[in-house]
Amino acid sequence: MSNMQDKVALVTGASSGIGRATAELFATNGAKVVVAARRGDELDALVAAIEAAGGQASAVQTDVSKSEDVQAMVQHAVGTFGRIDYAVNNAGIEGVFSAITELPDEEWDRVLGINLRGVFLCMKHQARAMLAAGQGGAIVNVGSVNSFLGFPTGSAYCTSKHGLIGLTTSVSAELAVQGIRVNLVCPGIVDTPMHHRARNLLGDEIYDQGVLPSVHLRRAGRPEEIAQAIVFLCSDAASYITGTTLTPDGGLTLTV
Ligand code: NAD
């Protein structure tokens, strides 16, 4: 555990899965947490759970693909808790899996709009807030093993996640001199609502016989295990780490 007392963490996509587990872990470490996502009821329930456990949290309903929402999200964080020390850009969708010949233009735009443009917008406004405070900070973006690997019918999702490597490395180089570290966490298969939707799209047979056997630990990860990697990269224990990727994937990308 890290001591994050008096620190402020902002987590997008916090209503579910990896984002929710990350927000809870920040709170357990003593940070004040701003939780952002599209679903207000679930965010309110998360805030109540964090407060019931003795933590501090605030919810802000946000669509990360909309510039005005992202600006309002960052203003909410600064207005509520004074500043942002840690920002986790985790919100994402799997979209519709489709052959390139059938993939609707609008679906390409929707997936790239949330998974790639959304992270761009978040980093832009988070970095402005961190620079204005002048106390450094840490940003973690959430990619995927599909930041390195493609799969048939996954062109929009994989492109969005590959793009996060360029976005993360470039921005980390820009902000390092001001004491802001930027890293990318690339999970493998994680037991969340997204994973179950993706499994339904791919089919149990492809998943059980094609995907799972390539995971050397032979199981899906738990959201809490990914949260540990994210919170570590924000913590002082990672003070010399910037511009890199950490891949908690149970060994999925070790071998072909
Ligand atoms: P999830 O579906 O459980 O949660 C996704 C979260 O993102 C939800 O809170 C949702 O409301 C939010 N979200 C979606 N679109 C949004 C938008 N436009 N604006 C704001 N919030 C939005 O999924 P998860 O598995 O927890 O995924 C979290 C991240 O991890 C995603 O970026 C995903 O691509 C990545 N990831 C997941 C897996 C996996 O197997 N679950 C693997 C690799 C990467």
pLDDT number for residue 105: 98
Q: Tell me, in angstroms, the distance from the centre of ligand 1 to residue 177's CA.
A: 30
H helix or E strand, kind and range, residue 60: strand 57-61
Residues with CB under 6 A from ligand 1: 12-13, 15-19, 37-39, 62-65, 90-93, 114, 142, 144, 187, 189-190, 192-195
For the CA atoms of 236, 241, 242, 246, the dihedral, rounded to the nearest 10 degrees, stands at -110
- Report the DSSP beta bridge partners of residue 36: 12, 60
Q: What are the tokens at 28?
A: 């357990």
pLDDT of residue 148: 97
pLDDT confidence of residue 44: 98
Whether 86 sits among the annotated catalytic residues: the reply is no
**Ligand 1: which of 142, 191, 194, 201 to mutate, judged by most atoms within 8 Å of the beta carbon?**
194
Distance 90 CA to ligand 1 centre (A): 6
- CATH match for 2-255 among 2.60.40.10, 3.40.228.10, 1.20.1740.10, 3.40.50.720: 3.40.50.720
What residue type is assigned to position 92 of the chain?
Answer: G
Task: Please report, for the chain, the start and end positions of each structural domain, with discontinuous segments joined by +.
Answer: 2-255
pLDDT of residue 204: 85
Nearest CA to ligand 1 atom 15: 92
What pLDDT, on the 0 to 100 scale, is given for residue 16?
A: 96
Question: Contact, 22 vs 86, CB < 8 A?
Answer: no
Taking only the tens place, the pLDDT of each residue in 103-130 is 999 999 999 999 999 999 999 999 999 9
Given phi > 0 = left and psi -120 to 50 = alpha, else beta, which region is 6? left
Which of 10, 15, 18, 122 is the best mutation target for the ligand 1 pocket, counting ligand atoms within 8 Å of the beta carbon and taking the most? 18
pLDDT at 205: 86
For ligand 1, pick from 90, 157, 201 the residue to mutate: most ligand atoms within 8 Å of CB. Answer: 90
Residue 80 confidence (pLDDT): 98
Residues of the chain where predicted confidence (pLDDT) is lower than 70: none
> Which pLDDT value is given to residue 127?
98
Q: What is the reported pLDDT for 198?
A: 83
**pTM of the entire predicted model:** 0.98
